Amino acid sequence: MLVVRPAGPADLDHLLELAILSGPGFTSLPEDPDQLAERLDLSRDSFSGKLDPKACWYTVMLEETDTGDVDGIGSVKAAVGLNRPFFSFRLVTNTQSSPSVDVKLDHQTLVLVNECTGWSEVGSLFLKADRRKGGAGRLLSQARYMLIGAQPELFNENVLAELRGVFTPDGGCPFWDHVAHKFFPMPFDDADLMSGSTDKQFILDLAPRHPIYVELLPEPARAVIGKVHPQGVPAMALLESEGFRPNGLIDIFDAGPTVACGRDNIRTVRDARAMTVAIADHVEAELPSLISTGSVTAFRAVRQKVGIEGDVATLSAETADALRVKAGDVVRVKA
């Protein structure tokens, strides 16, 4: 059975493997064991309630219970931009006109902004290639919203997600090569690593102070602004199915889009119901449902059949064991 469960220090080897497989541009999964170890410590302390709620970064793993294989990762940051700025480019349309020559023009510009301070972020969604079919990606993606819905007061009323921008098959990044690198004269990987591990002062020091006119950029750079890496297209579709939409912001390094949705308008958060657990040898249900525990501290999620009658959710013993719940406990169910 596939289960989504909290990540902790014991997952370092699994997380490093996923980071290597994720490839360039996946900012939240650097191929750095020290950074990954710190992240797993932060995840452990977040789930255990040791941190200020706004400082929490919850990381979850997709595990096959029969084999112990870990095949995917996802995360929820309770708040971004509090200790380090959350920089983006905003795509702005400026209209200029001259009645004397009967000309009206729309010019798009990129403007450096720091607009999303305090927002929650869902991210780090990555699965091994052989797990990208059969609903595993949807389970992992939706588990993050079940986590938010379990205790929504721990998260901001606005939720965002950043998607990786376009890279060429040889690992090149058109937007970085033609635009960002002009301001940050270093390898992409170094800038990416510094963005995730420092206070981002180097961005404030070096980023453009004035709007960048999109029309003046080389075509390879213009073509990828706001576009998603091919591997991120399924993730974008999952986000859109939950109600996320582009909000006009793009990543300053690879030009990948940012999407956002109100916390309480995320479909899975809105539609999941809190129910009391009953356990039976046989469960009558046509289709499996998304089921999670009812709190962040002991969070786990699966997609299995559940019998629903009133406010009672009847689970099989195997499902209850995977969730580590017993009769009388509270779970959340989204049919």
Helices (H), the chain: 12-22, 33-47, 136-150, 174-175, 181-183, 188-197, 201-206, 219-222, 233-242, 267-271, 317-323
Check residue 139 and report its DSSP letter: H
Give the separation between CA 212 and CA 179, rounded to whole angstroms.
Answer: 9
Place of tokens 């009847």: 314
**Which residue out of 14, 178, 181, 229 is catalytically annotated?**
229
Asked if 4 and 301 count as a contact pair (C-beta separation under 8 A), the reply is: yes
* Three-state secondary-structure class, residue 87: coil
Is residue 107 part of the annotated active site? The answer reads no
Give the separation between CA 66 and CA 193, rounded to whole angstroms.
Answer: 35
Place of tokens 């591990």: 197
Q: Which residues contact 30 (CB under 8 A, 6 or more apart)?
A: 19, 36, 192, 193, 196, 197
Q: Nearest to residue 7, comparing CAs of 50, 38, 32, 33?
A: 38
* Three-state secondary-structure class, residue 188: helix
Give the separation between CA 276 and CA 297, rounded to whole angstroms.
Answer: 18
Place of tokens 């255990």: 48
Query: What beta strand segments (E) does 30-157 contain?
Result: 57-64, 70-77, 88-98, 103-113, 120-127
Give the separation between CA 56 and CA 40, rounded to whole angstroms.
Answer: 11
Active site residues: 229
